């Protein structure tokens, strides 16, 4: 959907580079007798969560990280999950613990996440890691925002002194993205669904991060020409009218939609990419980096826990 003027920030290529770097670190660790381990806890039968977890376990297998996938029914209680986490905290061969979100509504998500040993919190959601990140201390950072920073740096996109606008305030994406951008000396504005005249703010952004979870929410009119657009959203659309709204006359998308009955779109209208200086596509952008950074976080946690080099 781009005119060809904007740079496409290829998350798949960057993720592959990060994974190759992680693989080299893992080879050195194995020579020293250390094999990092990641445990992933999946609760319920949400299709998207199952896909994400399988992708994470597959990446572990490809790189040589030991993985333990723990699947529990949707009726699992908060107390049972806290007990599972306690068991994983005690296992010496497990360096990283990831509880796949979202959890069922009856589960106290914060209580479960708070039970994870901060040293094994590879999702960067424990209050201790959040606090360290906030105050500039070393910490395991949430994978998606960490991936965004890696992408911008590796693509040599200036961050220092730039105005970065983050649309979304989730603990997993929006808030930590803002903190990490601030740590790189960007001037950061956080917006959300209650922000008045949102477009007036987003049009001032040199770097615009969309992480609000609404398909095509950021339109071309909300973007400053030449801005760098980072689209964190991954939304599935299956209604023909909605498809036509965003992808009319896109033959490639049409073929995929006809075959699968759905397509994936980010939080930005693809027409917004046409006025940008650079952008992350969906799919193939930020999402590809999340698993690569999870592998990196797992290796980092293993090194810190075991004193490996």
* pLDDT tens per residue across span 207-226: 999 999 999 999 999 999 99
Contact 97/89 with Cβ under 8 angstroms? yes
Please classify residue 222 by burial: count the beta carbons closer than 10 Å to its beta carbon, then call 0-12 exposed, 13-18 middle and 19+ buried.
Answer: buried
Q: Could you check whether the bond before residue 102 is cis, i.e. omega within 30 degrees of 0? A: yes
Average pLDDT over residues 102-125: 97
Which superfamily does CATH assign the domain made up of 142-289 to? NAD(P)-binding Rossmann-like Domain (3.40.50.720)
Residue 3 confidence (pLDDT): 44
- Residue 1 has a pLDDT of 43
Cross-sheet strand order for the sheet of 37-43? 66-72, 37-43, 96-99
| 150 to 15, 20, 53, 158, 197: CA distances (angstroms) | 9, 14, 22, 12, 31
pLDDT recorded at residue 4? 52
Task: Note whether 33-117 and 142-289 share their fold.
Answer: yes
Backbone torsions φ then ψ of 236, nearest 5 degrees: -100, 130
From the options 3.10.129.10, 3.40.50.10860, 3.30.750.80, 3.40.50.300, give the CATH code of 33-117: 3.40.50.10860
Mean local confidence (pLDDT), 54-82? 96
The pair of structure tokens assigned to 121 is 């919190």
Query: Hey, what are 113's tokens?
Result: 């996440």
- Reduce the DSSP state of residue 194 to 3 states and report it: coil
pLDDT above 80 (res 115): yes
Predicted pLDDT at 308 = 60
pLDDT above 90 for 146: yes
Share of the chain above pLDDT 70, in %: 98
What's the mean pLDDT in 140-160? Answer: 97
pLDDT for position 152:
98
Stretch 155-181: mean pLDDT, rounded?
97
State the pLDDT at residue 193. 87
| Phi, psi (degrees; rounded to nearest 5) at 228 | -90, 125
CA distance 172 to 185: 21
Backbone torsions φ then ψ of 230, nearest 5 degrees:
-115, 110
Structure token digits, residue 65:
């990280």
Mean pLDDT of all residues in 95-116: 97
The domain spans of the chain are 33-117, 142-289
List the one residue out of 1, 6, 269, 3 whose CA is nearest residue 155: 6
| pLDDT tier for residue 45 given thresholds of 50, 70 and 90 | confident
Check whether 148 has a pLDDT greater than 90. yes
Rounded to two decimals, the pTM is: 0.93
Average pLDDT over residues 287-300: 95
- Annotated catalytic residues are 56, 100, 123
237-259 pLDDT, tens digit per residue, is 999 999 999 998 899 999 999 99
pLDDT given for residue 48 in this prediction: 79
Residue 72 main-chain phi, psi, to 5 deg: -130, 155
DSSP annotation of 170 = -
pLDDT at 294 over 90: yes
Alpha-carbon gap, residue 22 to 250, rounded angstroms: 37
d(CA 116, CA 119): 8
The mean predicted confidence, pLDDT, of the chain is 94
Provide mean pLDDT across the span 129-138.
94
């Amino acid at each position: 959907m781009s005119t060809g003027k904007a740079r496409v920030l290829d998350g798949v290529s960057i993720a592959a580079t990060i994974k190759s770097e992680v693989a080299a670190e893992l080879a050195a660790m194995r020579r020293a007798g250390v094999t990092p381990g990641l445990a992933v806890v999946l609760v319920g039968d949400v299709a998207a969560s199952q896909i994400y977890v399988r992708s994470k376990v597959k990446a572990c297998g490809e790189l040589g990280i030991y993985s333990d996938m723990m699947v529990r029914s949707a009726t699992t209680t908060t107390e049972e999950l806290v007990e599972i986490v306690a068991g994983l905290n005690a296992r010496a061969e497990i360096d990283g613990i990831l509880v796949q979100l979202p959890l069922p509504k009856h589960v106290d998500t914060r209580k479960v996440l708070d039970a994870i040993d901060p040293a094994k919190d590879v999702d960067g959601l424990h209050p201790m890691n959040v606090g360290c990140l906030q105050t500039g201390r070393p910490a395991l950072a949430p994978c998606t925002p960490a991936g965004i920073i890696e992408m911008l740096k590796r693509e040599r996109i200036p961050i220092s002194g730039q105005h970065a606008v983050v649309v979304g305030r989730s603990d997993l994406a929006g808030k930590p993205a803002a903190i990490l951008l601030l740590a790189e000396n960007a001037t950061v504005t956080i917006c959300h669904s209650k922000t008045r005249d949102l477009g007036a703010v987003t049009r001032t952004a040199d770097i615009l991060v969309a992480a609000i979870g609404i398909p095509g929410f950021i339109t071309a009119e909300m973007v400053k020409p030449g801005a760098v657009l980072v689209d964190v959203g991954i939304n599935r659309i299956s209604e023909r009218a909605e498809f036509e709204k965003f992808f009319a006359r896109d033959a490639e998308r049409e073929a995929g939609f006809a075959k699968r009955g759905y397509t994936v779109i980010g939080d930005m209208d693809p027409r917004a990419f046409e006025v940008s200086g650079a952008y992350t596509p969906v799919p193939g952008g930020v999402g590809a980096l999340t698993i690569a950074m999870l592998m990196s976080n797992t290796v980092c946690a293993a090194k810190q826990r075991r004193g490996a080099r």
